[in-house]
Amino acid sequence: MRLLLTILVLVIAGSFAWQWGWQQLNKPLVLQSDNQVYTLRPGSSLNQVARDLERLGLMQHARLLLLYNRWKHPNATIKAGEYQLSPRLTPLQLLQMMQEGKVVEYRVTLVEGHTFKDFLRILHEQEKLASVLDGMTPAAVMQKLGHEGQHPEGRFFPDTYVYHSSMSDADVLSQAYDRMQKVLSEEWKQRADGLPYRNSYEALIMASIVEKETGVPEERDKIAGVFVRRLEKGMRLQTDPTVIYGLGDAYDGNITKADLNSPTPYNTYTIVGLPPTPIAMPGAAAIHAALHPAEGTALYFVATGNGGHTFSDSLQEHNQAVSQYLKVLKNRPKAEDKSK
């Protein structure tokens, strides 16, 4: 009889202990603010999490979380990162978040027409993104990313990328590289017939020029058409953005006649054909335009001064359009000459 009574007491006590423990695990965390974030460092264990929860006053008796995890999820792992703690969040919900890796996410936008140098600068400005590429040469960056020997310009797709605090600039660039490879490959498979490109990389070079020449969506394929026809006829492309890219840090905002006459690998006023690499990061629309140029006979274009361009078939028509543009420039002395 005494044994049965002892067993009954133990069962009742165990039941109360279980209910008490379950209540503790499902009681909302005690937050210091509504926007509190808990950071789980790489390599940390659930033991460290339990210690942190008690040290920060978020939960009492945090060892209950360890006991529950050993019973329910003995083989589960937790993922490093930042976790947003909401006012009604319980320890069990936090544990589930850590096991699923539902970390705080951030976004960074890499813009069409920016250069590789611009991309690196933008990434290094992100406070929550580790900078493992800072100070590296472009060649070293490409080696770090696993693409040794490739020129970085044009290789990364401009888009908005999601990252979290345990990621680095290399992680984001790897995503951008893979995305560009996919977009370019798909567009190359569906390209128009008879294009003067030996491979998809030359199409990427053309796309970067188109990207830099206009931000007007409806003109991209027209500009691509002009450049494609010039290539086919053996004419120089004579596009200012390539000259600017070739000048690098020496470009001060103005292109001089001396600049146009100074031979560089990128000066399309002095070289025939495409420059050796892209001059910027083209977006999907520019890539599509380069591979689907508009049909026509125009061989020249010049900015109107009011947005967009005037397209001409002959040099005489082009010179007239340039004269009209120069009249507009008198009222806009800082406007950039876009004549071709």
Q: What is the tens place of the pLDDT at every residue in 3-43?
A: 555 554 454 544 555 565 567 677 888 888 888 999 988 88
Residue 13 included in any domain: no
Closest-CA residue to 311 (of 227, 206, 212): 227
**Quick one: 199 and 307 in the same domain?**
yes
CB 173 within 8 A of CB 133: yes
Picking from 198, 194, 246, the residue whose alpha carbon sits closest to that of residue 225 is 194
Cα dihedral sign for 92, 95, 101, 105? positive
What pairing do the DSSP bridges indicate for beta strands 160-163 and 300-303? unpaired
State the CB neighbour count (10 A cutoff) for residue 179. Answer: 16
H or E stretch including 312?
A: strand 309-312
Q: 336's torsion region: left (phi>0), alpha (psi -120 to 50) or beta?
A: beta
For 307-322, how does the pLDDT look when each residue is reduced to its tens digit (9 = 90+)?
788 889 999 988 888 8
Task: Judge if 132 and 251 occupy the same domain.
Answer: no
Q: Same domain, yes or no, for 198 and 324?
A: yes
Task: Give pTM, 2 decimals.
Answer: 0.84
pLDDT > 70? residue 340: no
Domain limits for position 270: 194-329
Overall number of domains in the chain: 3
- Residue after which a domain boundary falls, among 60, 79, 100: 100
Q: Is 199 in the same domain as 323?
A: yes
- Confidence (pLDDT) at 104: 94
Which pLDDT tens digit goes with each residue over 170-180? Answer: 999 999 999 99
Query: Does any domain span residue 317?
Result: yes
